[in-house]
Amino acid sequence: MTSLAQPPKIYVAGHRGMVGAAIVRALEAKGQANIVTRTHADLDLTDQAAVRAFFASEKPDQVYLAAAKVGGIHANNTYPAEFIYQNLMMEANIVDAAFRNGVKKLLFLGSSCIYPKLAPQPMREDALLTGTLEATNEPYAVAKIAGIKLCESYNRQYGASHGVDYRSVMPTNLYGPGDNYHPENSHVIPALIRRFHEAKLAAAPGVTIWGTGTPKREFLYVDDMAAASVHVMNLDKATYDRHTQPMLSHINVGCGHDITIRELAEAIGKTIGYQGEIRFDPSKPDGTSRKLMDSTRLNALGWQAKVGLEEGLALAYADFLESGK
């Protein structure tokens, strides 16, 4: 009697981050029990020798590369050296160690900031490297572009000879459980959740938000992102190859529609039950007027987002309250 095939051993790098944690949840929901993780205290991913030793010891079959140093505009502007160095080192160490230890399947998670500041909307995958990046997060974006090209380069050199199949997905703005609610270093949804919650507790008459409220942004619930990641990882190679190109292989992950910052603020205020006035300060900067991902490629591969903004914000607020932040 032949024994059943062993389930793949899957290493999720960055499992304590918002996306990595969601990927672990998605894998566990599918019955995947053989998941390998390491905390930063146990494994410094910027340390090449340590990463190589880990891969040589654990020998995972698949890797989800969700580890990254992330932050909002303030953090990107304040720590540009850390953002480019740490992200470059982590992805280079992991991709190379994966290859050296026979990992055939790897998924690299990037960011929508890889696209030029003035990319046509919605942003298609082929907009990559066609223009100047947004200056405030250029170091982070360059590191993420390098990650895509790392995966593509290993595929091109070792795909035929070693069966290497390393893929990349680029999420739009993410939110949900495990988000960062820091008052300075957080993104727009967690920042507004905190501000409206605090305003509600203080019975503040109004909340003032930077800018005009007219810029549009796309938001995706993090568990949808995790589901998309698992979907792309598990696509058969022929299907993946048919929808991508060797040097244009990344896939956008978004919900396909955007809303204004004013609409977002109103939705968050409603979710939290804040009754005061929502004001905008047009003397403050707006940022890019629109950032919408074209997710046609992913939709053609059989995946679409499921969690709507109203449902997602309620789940995010519940997480914020539970986190005690």
Residue of 11, 64, 140, 274 with catalytic role: 140
**Triad 290, 296, 299: Cα angle to 5°:** 125
C-alpha 180, offset from chain centre: 13
CA nearest to 157, candidates 235, 80, 225, 95: 95
Backbone Cα Rg of the chain: 20
CA distance 50 to 48: 5
Catalytic annotation on 140?
Answer: yes
CA distance 276 to 325: 22
Contacts of 84 (CB under 8 A, 6+ apart): 139, 140, 142, 143
For residue 316, give Cα distances in angstroms to 142, 143, 222: 30, 28, 10
Strand ranges for the chain from DSSP E: 10-13, 35-36, 62-65, 105-109, 165-171, 173-175, 206-210, 216-217, 219-221, 251-253, 259-260, 277-281, 290-291
CA distance 110 to 113: 9
**Triad 220, 222, 227: Cα angle to 5°:** 100
Residue with tokens 């499992």: 15
End-to-end CA distance of the chain: 55
CA distance 265 to 276: 12
Kindly list the catalytic residues. Answer: 140
